[in-house]
Amino acid sequence: MDSVTRPLAFQSAAEQAVLLRTRQASSRELLDVYLDRIERLNASVNAVVTLDVDTARRRAQAADDATAHGVSWGPLHGIPITIKDALAVAGIRSTGGALELRGYVPTRSAPVVARLRNAGANVPKWSLDYVTTNEVFGTTGNPWQPHHVPGGSSGGAAAAISAGFSSLEIGTDLGGSIRLPAHFCGVYGFKPTFGAVSQRGYVDRVGEAHHDIDANHFGPIARSVGDLVTAYEIIAFHPGLGAEPRSSLADYRIGAWLDDDACPVDAPVLDRLQRAADATTDAGARMNSSRPAASLRDARALVGPVIAHGLRGPVAYASPERIALRDAWAAWFEHHDVMLWPVSPTTAPRHDPRPITERRITINGVEVAGTETIGWTGPINVLGLPSVVIPVGRAGDGLPVGMQVIAAWGNDRLALDVASRIDTVLTERGLGGYAIPPGFNSQ
């Protein structure tokens, strides 16, 4: 089913914006479609936890009135979006999933939320783990198979986009929390360069963060790369910086590092990644298998210390090992534009209520620690590099597979451009693109 024939709820935000602007649909109609779907279908996945319906409807009516008078609020005029519960939204319960904050209602919104609203978005509204469960709201399921995880900690965000409950989402990513859910739920996610988007208003404690946390990133989750671009241009401080996009895929120099003994990738997942890389080569891209002069094992060893240090205060973690890692990748990017990487070694694991340190997953028939799930995402947080996740089909178990497209520090636009071009190739060849999960395809 291509985007033209998809029901309204599953069209991209850009496609919906055209319908609203040309008055083929109204913001009220689109909002009601999502509210109806949430009422009928949310119980099966528990992705949406807080709604401010009255405010959303007033905002939708105001958007429609503005359209009728030829006034546009911006690129997301009248588009309903949802916000991860870890971001402060003025006047709406924002808990971060913590019992201590179950009744917390911020008086002002995080800057990223304010920027989205100023661009016309309508926010009815809706973290350290690769699953999404907490004592306030319970467990979120994966729309593709509810007994499997949607990823974390932006699992509800990705599940909502995948299930057709929202047009666009904003999540956070400290070790993979945008990219893992995008991979597990079959949608698109973008972790911008560290510092490109303000982290103020991050609800990770009693009160809100007033400084950027080392290795943490705010970014969009969507059903198309185009929507990631639109959201990024709204929420980023300086979205126009970085290398200029090229004229064609053939103009890019692309590396592919799809497997490693330090974190083996399950064969069915690797197969989808290799097909995506082969299709990219067939489309004319200059591909090679060279790697930075830094091991994945050494990069992974830095993930825990960097995150732990960042959660303690505003000073970034500094060590000779981290500097050497960043220098090695910077040197590699002098001769390459992007690196293709796995997101996770497996598809979405089944729910496991045990603590993260006690969980197990199976890779190529071998049981390993559940923490291997973030083996390919955490290092990119340590590096602070921009990374786009695009869907590259589904494995033999029917669950989605995603692939990271990683660029050099500050080259966010370039990463998005390459990801868009590869995504177009894969979608045209039936090897990728967003698909509606079974059981959620009703309007």
- The active-site residue, picked from 12, 26, 27, 84, is 84
Q: Which among 94, 167, 177, 224 is annotated as catalytic?
A: 177
Using CA atoms, how far residue 210 sits from 107, 165, 193, 277, 313, in Å, is 15, 31, 19, 41, 10
Q: Is 84 a catalytic residue?
A: yes
- Main-chain dihedrals φ then ψ at residue 53, nearest 5 degrees: -65, -45
Angle at which helix 225-235 crosses helix 412-428, to 10 degrees, equals 160
Count of C-beta atoms within a 10 Å radius of residue 371:
18
Q: Which of 26, 27, 127, 153 is catalytic?
A: 153
CA angle 376, 259, 155 (to 5 degrees): 35
Helix residue ranges, H only, 42-79 = 53-68
Determine the residue type at 333: F
- Cα 68 from chain centre: 34
Does residue 198 carry a catalytic annotation?
A: no
Of 74, 153, 159, the C-alpha closest to 118 is: 74
- Report residue 246: phi and psi, to 5°: -90, 175
The strands making up 387-394's β-sheet, listed across from edge to edge, are 82-83, 169-173, 217-222, 188-191, 387-394, 400-407, 338-342, 253-256, 286-288
User: What interhelical angle do 53-68 and 27-41 show, nearest 10?
Assistant: 150
**191 is a catalytic site residue:** no
Q: Give catalytic residues, as residue numbers.
A: 84, 153, 177
